[in-house]
Amino acid sequence: MAQKIKLTFLGTSDAIPSAKRNHTAILLSYNEENILIDCGEGTQRQFRKARLNPCKTTRILITHWHGDHVLGIPGLLQTFALSGYNKKIYIYGPKGTNQYIKEMLNSFKFAEKYYIEVKEVTGRFFESDEFYLEAESMQHGAPTNAYNFVIKDKIRIDKKKLAKAKLPSGPLLQKLKQGGDVFYNGKKYKSKDLTYLEKGKKISIVLDTLDNSKIIPFVKNANLLICESSFGKDLESHSKEHLHLTSEQAGEIAKKSKSKKLILTHISARYEANMEQILNETKRIFRNSYLVKDLDAVEI
């Protein structure tokens, strides 16, 4: 059975938090990886409220360097140091990230007891046997990235067919997984007869940005698209002026990219009393849309 991807929405507000919504932060958990996308002010307390250990974080993806997306980083790094964090922490972001991290660490007394590796990224920037991460530049005034987390397709052994064939475990099964045919006790076994393809999964994260031509190709066929929806249709001109997406634009992106599911986040506090407006405007365009609140968890 495929390993689930769990997403915990630690913060879902826009630039100004409300009593119910904290600054932006999303934790993506898969196997031993805990990837934090953005780290707004107060993210550490959100970890605690969600009963999650921040020191299990393995990577941090920064979309851009506006305060509501990064002001939680210094405190988080300090907590790592005070808690015996003994892994290398990887921090990825758009152009300027190296300099901003240096300035951030120089702005307070920081006891670095572990190694921090910072990379400014675009395109595919990390790959393991199971998944890869990629970035695409967006339009938000400051250098900005959207991100994809992609689990690769896998060839799986059909256990029922394997039991019937009575093949031993070991190198023969590994060859079958790689698409090769094998011989055992004088008989040929074809990979296609004993295996099946398990399709991978794609999670796309598009936060602060003006609508632009790069988004749809980048998020195409996402199993889950997480997208900002700072403003409703009523503030479309305001949204464009501030380089953000509206509820309707988020719905159009999901529809045109053939994404399977859309989650809306980064909602302006002015809609606090009428969140359904944002969701309903999006659902009229893309039915499989959902609005998250702080500490909601979703599995894919």
Q: Which domains does the chain have, with CATH numbers?
A: 6-153+199-299 (3.60.15.10), 155-196 (no CATH)
- CA–CA separation, 159 vs 32, rounded Å? 25
Confidence (pLDDT) at 110? 80
Strand, coil or helix: 45: helix
Average pLDDT (172-177) is 82
Quick one: which of 72, 81, 70, 86 has its CA closest to 110?
81
What pTM, to 2 d.p., does this model score?
A: 0.91
Q: Quote the tokens at residue 173.
A: 């099964």
In sign, the C-alpha dihedral spanning 100, 250, 289, 127 is: negative
Cβ(280)–Cβ(246) under 8 Å? no
Q: What is the pLDDT of residues 25-68, one digit of tens each?
A: 999 999 999 999 999 999 999 999 999 999 999 999 999 999 99
Catalytic positions are 68
Residue 39 structure tokens: 């780290």
Residue whose structure tokens are 């506090």: 269
Alpha helices for 230-274 (secondary structure H): 236-241, 247-256
Percent of the chain's residues with pLDDT above 90: 80
Whether the pLDDT of residue 176 is over 90: the answer is: no
Structure tokens at 1: 């059975």
Average pLDDT over residues 128-139: 97
